[in-house]
Structure 1
Amino acid sequence: MEKINEVSSKYYHFIYNHLIEIGFSETLSTYLNMFALLAALLIVVFAVDYVIRRILVTTFSRFALASKSNFDDLLVANKVPRNIAHIIPFLIALEFVPIVLIDFSHLENFVEKSLQVFAIVLALWIIRSFLHALKDFFKTLPSLKDKPIDSYIQVFMIFAWGAGFMSAIAIITNTPFIKFVTGLGAISAVIILVFKDTIMGFVASIQVSINDMVHIGDWITFEKYGADGDVIEINLATVKVQNFDKTITTIPTYALISDSFKNWRGMTKSEGRRIKRALNITQSSVKYLTDNDVDELKKIQLITAYLETREKDIQTFNSGNNINKELLLNGRNLTNLGVFRKYIDSYLKSHSAINKDMMIMARQLAPTTQGIPLEIYAFSSDKRWENYEYIMADVFDHLIAAVPYFGLEIFELPTKVTFNSN
């Protein structure tokens, strides 16, 4: 072994011995010997790095072109082979640094620690590039494209960078990693304070994902932040919403669990979009229908059969109970408001754009100072916003125009006010 070391030392000090022979001082010869070895090592490292990088990148690229999967394409796009190629040159540098600095033991320790720290950084680069490729791949899968993959990647990388940072400090301070981590307990309160938003975002991301509250592509309305549009990105700290005017609203992730917002996903996945709007009928226009009124309304085809059936039932009841019909109030009667409600129901059920498999209802709400609300409750078959608005407008255009045919009036605030001069 001693002979081997002597032979190795002879080669390592070849330049040193040559310089001494030609008259250089020992100190200068030592430094020049070190610089020459360092230059040789750097040339070898960069050459090996270049060759291996070209081989790996070319091989991966060709394999990606031949493969049907796009995951390997994403590995190349995110520079995973390029980062992996640095491993072998790094190992060469780590192996030969003690030889280059054989005469500088105090510098050798510093360089070795620097290389160990660089090893941590290199590992994090590789992990990050691989995770980014994995993230891009997951986003191409239909079952995962609406999941907050960015949040999961960011959480993992935060822990990875934290562990890497602590490992680097432990290496620099010559402190065992476990002992170093244990000592961090004393400053945990400071860490929590500094990373408060990150921690809150992390917890919120988990809750949002577990409770299935928001997906990428969901239409949400968040009045507090002025957001009304589609979710385009969910990450650890923020949720980005593209509003319908194409502006972007950024919402803190933790706001999704601390505040109230509306997610329209249930509507978009349902068989229809709800129409819920009322016509306010003037109370003074509501009245009982005479026989002549009923005969006139029979001309409306949608309720002809209904009026004939109801008329027979009412006449049978009133005759059987000897009801005095000289006064309309006595016995059973039809009202124009009740017939109009039946007309609305029949009209909605015959409308081609209304979903017949979902609830259809015309209901009367409690009277107010602005009349009697007659609410239409139904669902349009087409859920697209523009078409939905067209369908709803079409329905109410017709009903507003139909109101006078039933002797009813829609409540409106007076447009003119007459003042008494006295």
Structure 2
Amino acid sequence: MTDWGVDQSHLPLTATLLSAATIIFAAIIIYWIMSGPVSRLVNKKISGSKTLLDDYLLPPSTIHVICIVTVTILCANFLPPVFRYYPSVSVYTDKGCSIINIAGISWVITSVAKGACDYLSHTETNRGGSLVLRNLVTTIVWSIAALLSISILLNRDLAYVISGLGAMAAVLMLVFKDSILGMTAGIRLTINKMLKVNDWVSVPKYGAEGRVEDLTLTAIKIRNWDQSVSSVPPHALISDGFTNHEAMLEKGVRQIRRTFNVDVNSIRRLSPEEMNQFAGEPWTKNINLQKPQVNLTLFRKWLRQEIADLPDLSPEPRFFVKEHPHTSSGIPIEIHLFVKCVNWVRFEELQADFLDNIIAAVHHFGLRLYQAPAGHDLLSLKNDTRS
């Protein structure tokens, strides 16, 4: 190099810079080859294969990550010897390149793990478990990478770094409280199959009701029926409780449960003339209409028959009509049944038609439903007092 006009004292520095430039240039060429022809060839082979697993494990994004990591690892392994004549620089290059190696390997592992979890979520119904597993693997891998990087920077053993973290346990617990609680709650929710993506859930404390869109270590995203989005901590579902309606939908039935408050003043025994209107109806075949009957008793028997005649009635669980104790609002009559209809619009229509029929039939038995006086009722009362 002295023939090129380079001073003898600058030869080591010049050789070092040229070597580093050569390595970087070679890395650029290798990256161009890998991200170009090699990547296209690999993608073509993967897309042409009959198996679905390789499509998820090695998508174009993961192959691109592997190309970048391969080049950086090559640089990280070839650059440190170049600076061996400069110990002050070599210390930092050695540590920096080691950290780059760790970060690159972690990046590849998490990318492949993401693909594997995506494959599991595609082939299994429990997509929420795959999401939690992906978050768990990512957290563990990057936590180990962070510990290894710290040990390299401090030039200490990994055991020393871990023991040092013990002294900071209180601070770490405070900083990563949500992540730790979310991780344990997410694992419990997944293992016990309590929750998965696309489940219909209700979380009353947070005013959330809708479909689960995403599960992470720190939040569960719920798309409410009004299209707003609620973010609920996973540990809140364990500590405060929630309702998962998905089992009801999977069984193919939905519940109709309503209570009608009958005005006590309208309950009486019907006269023979009033009972004649029910003669010949199927629900009266075991009733002696020649004897005075209580109108509320007849109403309950008619109600049972109406429920039994519903074309969409589910035989299991069993339906019932229950009379509750007397209250200040009358006598509550509760109906409890299940119908074989999970379509939201059709269910609401079926339920409304059935309840409307019950309300319209009450006066045929000489009964009245309780309603707190308001509006027209008070106006009628005022007119009656004047007259």
TM-score computed with the length of structure 2 as normaliser: 0.90
Cross-structure match for 1:298: 279
CA separation in 2, counterparts of 1:275 and 1:163? 53
Q: What do residues 50-107 of structure 1 show as CA deviations (whole Å, max 9, x unaligned)?
A: 2233354223211222112333223343622233334554454345435533432332
Cross-structure match for 1:358: 317
The Cα of 1:23 is off from its aligned counterpart by 5.5
Counterpart of 1:410, as a letter, is L
Cross-structure match for 2:199: 218
Say yes or no: does 1:173 pair with 2:154: yes
Cross-structure match for 1:404: 363
8 Å contact 2:80–2:97 — kept in the other structure?
A: no
Q: 2:105 aligns with which of 101, 107, 123?
A: 123
Q: 1:258 aligns with which of 217, 220, 239?
A: 239
1:19-418 equivalence runs, <5 A: 19=2, 21=3, 24-77=6-59, 79-86=61-68, 88-90=70-72, 92-145=74-127, 147-298=128-279, 301-307=281-287, 310-311=288-289, 333-414=292-373, 415-416=377-378, 417-418=381-382
Structure 2 portions without partners, runs of 5+: none
Judged with a 3 Å threshold, the aligned counterparts in structure 2 of structure 1 residues 93 and 216 are, in CA distance, closer, same or farther, namely closer
8 Å contact 2:323–2:333 — kept in the other structure?
A: yes
Larger Rg: 1
Judged with a 3 Å threshold, the aligned counterparts in structure 2 of structure 1 residues 389 and 22 are, in CA distance, closer, same or farther, namely closer
8 Å contact 2:326–2:332 — kept in the other structure?
A: yes
The Cα of 1:156 is off from its aligned counterpart by 2.1
Counterpart secondary structure, 2:335: strand
8 Å contact 1:198–1:236 — kept in the other structure?
A: yes
The Cα of 1:252 is off from its aligned counterpart by 1.1
Q: Percent sequence identity over matched residues?
A: 24
Structure 1 portions without partners, runs of 5+: 1-17, 315-332
CA separation in 2, counterparts of 1:190 and 1:220? 34
Farther off after superposition, 245-254 or 360-369:
360-369
CA separation in 1, counterparts of 2:93 and 2:217? 37
Judged with a 3 Å threshold, the aligned counterparts in structure 2 of structure 1 residues 183 and 269 are, in CA distance, closer, same or farther, namely same
Judged with a 3 Å threshold, the aligned counterparts in structure 2 of structure 1 residues 220 and 183 are, in CA distance, closer, same or farther, namely same
CA separation in 2, counterparts of 1:53 and 1:363? 72
Counterpart of 2:121, as a letter, is K
The Cα of 1:37 is off from its aligned counterpart by 1.8
Matched pairs, number? 380
Cross-structure match for 1:6: none
Judged with a 3 Å threshold, the aligned counterparts in structure 2 of structure 1 residues 168 and 356 are, in CA distance, closer, same or farther, namely closer
8 Å contact 2:204–2:242 — kept in the other structure?
A: yes
Counterpart of 2:24, as a letter, is L
8 Å contact 2:276–2:289 — kept in the other structure?
A: no
8 Å contact 2:316–2:338 — kept in the other structure?
A: no
8 Å contact 2:77–2:97 — kept in the other structure?
A: no
CA separation in 2, counterparts of 1:261 and 1:337? 38
Q: What do residues 135-182 of structure 1 show as CA deviations (whole Å, max 9, x unaligned)?
A: 22122113332x232222222222221211121121122212223322
Counterpart of 2:272, as a letter, is D
8 Å contact 2:263–2:370 — kept in the other structure?
A: yes
The Cα of 1:346 is off from its aligned counterpart by 0.8
Counterpart of 1:189, as a letter, is A
Counterpart secondary structure, 1:79: helix
The Cα of 1:342 is off from its aligned counterpart by 0.9
CA separation in 2, counterparts of 1:190 and 1:78? 40
Judged with a 3 Å threshold, the aligned counterparts in structure 2 of structure 1 residues 51 and 393 are, in CA distance, closer, same or farther, namely same
The Cα of 1:117 is off from its aligned counterpart by 0.9
CA separation in 2, counterparts of 1:94 and 1:297? 93
The Cα of 1:22 is off from its aligned counterpart by 5.7
The Cα of 1:295 is off from its aligned counterpart by 2.3
Cα RMSD of the aligned pairs, angstroms, is 2.4
Counterpart secondary structure, 2:222: strand
CA separation in 2, counterparts of 1:218 and 1:167? 39
Q: What do residues 352-371 of structure 1 show as CA deviations (whole Å, max 9, x unaligned)?
A: 13223432222211111222
Judged with a 3 Å threshold, the aligned counterparts in structure 2 of structure 1 residues 173 and 342 are, in CA distance, closer, same or farther, namely same
Judged with a 3 Å threshold, the aligned counterparts in structure 2 of structure 1 residues 91 and 284 are, in CA distance, closer, same or farther, namely closer
